[in-house]
Amino acid sequence: MKAGAPLTPDSPISALRGVGPALAERLERMGLRRVQDLLFHLPSRYQDRRHIHPMASLQPGMEAAVEGEILDVEHLRGRREQWLVRLADGSGQMQLRLFHLHGAMRGQWRRGRRLWCFGELRTGFHGLEMVHPEWAMADTADFQAPQHLTPFYPSTEGITQLHWRRWIAQALPLADQLPDYLQGLLPPLMPSMGDGLRFLHQGEGGTPAPAHPARQRLALEELLAHHLAVRSAGAAECGAAAPKLQGPGALWRHFLQQLPFAPTRAQERVISEIRTDLGRSRPMRRLLQGDVGSGKTLVAAAATLTALEAGYQAAFMAPTEILAEQLRDRFALWFSPLGIGVGHLAGRNRSGERRSILRDLEEGRLAVVTGTQALFQEGVAFARLGLVIIDEQHRFGVEQRRQLQEKGSMPHLLVMTATPIPRTLAMTIHADLDLSVIDELPPGRTPVETVVMPDSRRAELVERMRDLVGAGRQIYWVCPLIEESEILQLRAAEESFAELSAALPNARVGLVHGRLKGAEKAAVMAAFQSGAMQVLVATTVIEVGVDVPNASLMVIEHAERLGLAQLHQLRGRVGRGAAKSTCILLYHPPLAGKARERLRVMRSSQDGFVIARKDMELRGPGEFLGTRQTGLAQMRVADLLRDEALLAGIPDLAERLLARDPAAVEGLLHRWLGGRLGYGQVA
C-alpha cells in the first residue's frame, strides 16, 4: 500500500502499489476506477504451471513448466546480444534463449544452480528451446513453485500480466469487505462473494469448473445485475398511465366472421393475454414470440381492433419497406369490410398523399397506420395513439422504441419476434417485457422437406422447377450476401435471374433486391403475391415475413454462407399453404465445419426453438442475441447457455431484492455494468 489512508474496496485504483498516473489512466479507460472494480476484473483463462514436466516429455508448441540444473551459460555478442543457457533434468536437456539479462540477474545465472521456468517450447537450432521464459531460481529458501493456476487477465496495451497479478494480489484481501447485496436471499450453503472472487482469481484446485458453486455465486449475481438493468430501463418508461383500451369486443367478433379461418388455440390465448393488458392503465410492454408462420399478424390485428373499439389509434411499424407494405395490404384486406381505413407512411409517399395522411392522423380521422421508421420521424403526430406494434424487435433499438412511444401520451406496446429463445433466457434479456408465446402452427401445414445439395446439380434443379411452374406453383430463389458486398450480391442475383428467365420461358420470373426503388419493389412483390409471377429471384430482402401461401419451393443459393436464424426464416416462407413444400439448400463444395453443421441442423429440424438453441451454441449467445444486447455479450462470469439453469431463479431473486433492499440495485449495477457501455440507460 502507498502511504496514506488504509486501502478499502472504495479506494481509487491509484492507491495500489505499482499504479502510477499513466497506468491509472489506462485502467480508467477500461472502466476500472476503484479497487473493487479491479476485483471484478476476472481472468479470461488460466495456465497450469504447478506440474513440472520432465524434459524428455516436451514437445514443440507446448507451454510447460520445467525445473533443471544449469549446465552452462553462453554469452553471444553478435549483431544482437544474447545468452544461451543449457538446462538439464534427469530425463533430458533443453536450451533457454534470453536477449537481455541485466546486472543482478546476470550474477544469478551460474552453472550448477537449479532453475524453475515456464514458457512455450519451440524447435531451435540445438533442439527444443524456450525464448524468454518466466523464471525463478529454485534453490533459494524463498522459492515456492506455483500452488495455484496462473490467471490471465483481459488487458490493454502497456499493462502486462505481471501488473495485473500484482495489483490483484493487493486487492484480493479486501474481497471480504465488499457489501454482500444478496445476503440472506441465497441458499445458506452458497459460498460468499469473497470466496467466489478468490476462487476465480487464484484458480484454486484446477480450472474453475462452470458448475463450481463459487463460480455460480458470481454468475448468479451477474445475471441478476443484467436482469435488473433491463428492468429498470423498462420501469422508467412505465411511470405514466396508459389509456384503458376496453370494449365489448364486438369489432373483433365481427372481424372473425369474415375471416376464412378460425384462430388457433394458441392465438386465442395470446390475444386474451393482450386484451387483459390493454384494459389496464399500466402501459402494456409485451413481447409476442412465435415461430415463422405461426400467425402473429392475426394477433396484431386483434390488438389493433381492441384499440380502435376503445376510440384510440394504432401504429404498426415493420423493419423494411416490403414488410410494411405487405402489412398495409393485409390490414386493408382484413379491415375494409369493417369500414376501417389503413394509412401507410413510407419514405416514398408522394408529399401530397403524405401530407393528407399526416393531417388525418393528427386530427384523428385515420385510426390505423403502418410504416417503417418513417412513422416516428419528426412531424408525425397522433390525435389519440393508444397502441404501438413493432415487428422484429431485433432491428429496433430501445431508443427508437422510446421515440415512437413519445408520439402518444403513453401508448401500449406490443413487440413481435420470430426468434424463439428459451423462456428463461427471454425473461432475463427482455426483463422489461412480459412474454406471450404462440406455440402452435395453424392447422393444415405440411412440414417442409429440406434437401441439401451441391450447386453442381443446379441444372437438374431447374428441370424440376419447370415441372412445378407447370403445375401452377410458385418458387422463391434466394441469393445470399457474398462477402458482405451488396454489389456482388446484386450481380449474382442478376445472373441467376437471367439464367432462370432463359431456362423457364413459360414462367414469369421477377427480380427483387435492396437497390430497387420502392415502387419497383412493390410492383414485383405485388405480381408475385397475386400469382401473376411464378418465380421470384431475391436477395435476402425477403427474409422476414413475406407471406405467399401458394409458394411451395424455396431455393437458397450458397446456403453454407447463411446463419441458422436466416435459413430458418427463409425456409419459413414456404409450407404456408396446403401444398407439399420443399426447401433446397444449395452449397458450393467443399462443405466444412460449422457450415456443414448448420445445414445438418436445417435438415434435421423445423422447430424454431431447436434451431435457435443450436444457433446460439454455434455462434455464442452474444453474437446470437445481436448488438442490442451488447451488455450480455460482455458478461464476465456468466454464460447464457451454460448457466441456463440459473436463469430460472433470477426474476424471483430480483423481486425479493427489490422488496427488501431497493437501494442495493444501484450497487449491483455499478459492480457488474459500471464503467461499460451496453444498456444505454444504465451506463
Ligand X SMILES: Nc1ncnc2c1ncn2[C@@H]1O[C@H](COP(=O)(O)OP(=O)(O)OP(=O)(O)O)[C@@H](O)[C@H]1O
Q: Where does this chain bind ligand X (CB under 6 A)?
A: 261, 263-264, 267, 290, 292-298, 418, 442, 545, 547, 549, 572, 576
- Would you tell me how many other CB atoms lie within 10 Å of the CB of residue 137? 16
State the distance between the two ends of the chain, measured CA to CA, in whole angstroms. 31
Q: Is the Cα torsion angle 540, 543, 549, 553 positive or negative in sign?
A: positive
Q: Which of 534, 520, 512, 287 is nearest to 414 (CA)?
A: 287
Look at the block and give the residue holding cell 525464448.
131
- Residue 297 Cβ vs ligand X, minimum distance, rounded to whole Å: 3
Q: How far is the CB of 448 from ligand X (least distance, A)?
A: 13
Measure the CA–CA gap between 415 and 417, rounded to whole angstroms: 7
What's the min distance (Å) between Cβ of 510 and ligand X?
20
Minimum CB–partner distance for residue 294 and ligand X (Å): 4
Least distance to ligand X, CB of residue 652, Å:
31
Q: How far is the CB of 610 from ligand X (least distance, A)?
A: 17
Instruction: Round to whole Å and give the CA distance between 409 and 41.
Output: 43
Using the minimum distance from each CB to ligand X, give the nearer residue, 124 or 577. 577
Using the minimum distance from each CB to ligand X, give the nearer residue, 231 or 576. 576
203 or 293: CB nearest ligand X: 293
Cell of 595: 457450415
Residue 298 or 482 with smaller CB distance to ligand X: 298
C-alpha cell at 333: 384486406
Min dist. Cβ of residue 640 to ligand X (A): 23
Q: How far is the CB of 606 from ligand X (least distance, A)?
A: 13
Cα(381)–Cα(360) distance, integer angstroms: 10
The answer to whether the beta carbons of residues 186 and 50 sit under 8 Å apart is no
CB 180 within 8 A of CB 75: no
Closer residue to ligand X in complex, CB, 283/545: 545
Who contacts 522 (Cβ-Cβ below 8 Å, separation ≥6)?
A: 321, 322, 325
Residue 267 C-beta: closest distance to ligand X, Å: 6
Residues sharing a CB contact under 8 Å with residue 525, sequence separation 6 or more, in sequence order = 322, 325, 326, 512, 546
Length of the chain: 683
Q: What minimum distance in Å lies between the beta carbon of 429 and ligand X?
A: 19
Give the residue nearest to ligand X (CB). Answer: 295
Extract the C-alpha cell encoding 257.
366472421
Residue 599: phi, psi to the nearest 5? -65, -35
Nearest CB to ligand X, comparing residues 65 and 612:
612
Q: How far is the CB of 549 from ligand X (least distance, A)?
A: 5
How far apart are the C-alpha atoms of 158 and 638, rounded to whole Å? Answer: 28
Strand 134-137, strand 449-454: pairing: unpaired
Q: Select from 451, 512, 503, 523 the least CA-distant residue to 478.
A: 512
Nearer to ligand X, 169 or 259 (CB): 259
Between the alpha carbon of residue 231 and those of residues 404, 653, 663, the distances in Å are 19, 13, 15
Cβ 447 to ligand X shortest distance, Å: 15
Nearer to ligand X among residue 391 and residue 560 (C-beta): 391
Nearer to ligand X (CB atom), residue 284 or residue 548: 548
By beta-carbon proximity to ligand X, the closer residue of 112 and 260 is 260
From the list 531, 487, 530, 494, the residue with the least C-alpha distance to 512 is 494
Closer residue to ligand X in complex, CB, 27/288: 288
CA distance 340 to 55: 84
Buried b (16+ CB within 10 A) or exposed e, 245-275: bebebebbeebeeeeeeebbebbebbbebbb
Name which of 327 and 431 has its Cβ closer to ligand X. 327
Give, in order, the Cα–Cα distances in Å from 337 to each of 162, 302, 331, 424.
Answer: 74, 15, 11, 41
- Which CB atom, from 128 or from 583, has the smaller least distance to ligand X? 583
Give the cell for residue 358.
399526416
- Distances 51 to 65, 116, 147, 148, 153 between C-alpha atoms, Å: 7, 11, 10, 10, 21
Burial 303-334, CB ≥16 within 10 A → b, else e: bbbbbbbbebbbbbbbbbbbbbbbbbbbbbeb
| Closer CB to ligand X, 198 or 568, in the complex | 568
Between residues 297 and 582, which has the closer beta carbon with respect to ligand X? 297
Residue with Cβ nearer ligand X (249 or 549): 549
Residue 76: left (phi > 0), alpha (psi -120 to 50), or beta? beta
CB of 597 to ligand X, least distance (A): 24
- Cβ 257 to ligand X, closest distance in Å? 15
Q: What DSSP element (H or E) covers 46? A: strand 45-47
Q: How far is the CB of 291 from ligand X (least distance, A)?
A: 7
In single-letter form, the type of residue at position 181 comes to Y
| DSSP, res 187 | -
Q: Is 483 left (phi over 0), alpha (psi -120 to 50) or beta?
A: left
CB of 295 to ligand X, least distance (A): 3
Which cell numbers hold the place of 662? 431497493
User: For residues 19 and 270, which CB has a smaller minimum distance to ligand X in the complex?
Assistant: 270
Q: Taking the complex as a whole, how short is the minimal distance between the CB of residue 424 and ligand X, in angstroms?
A: 22
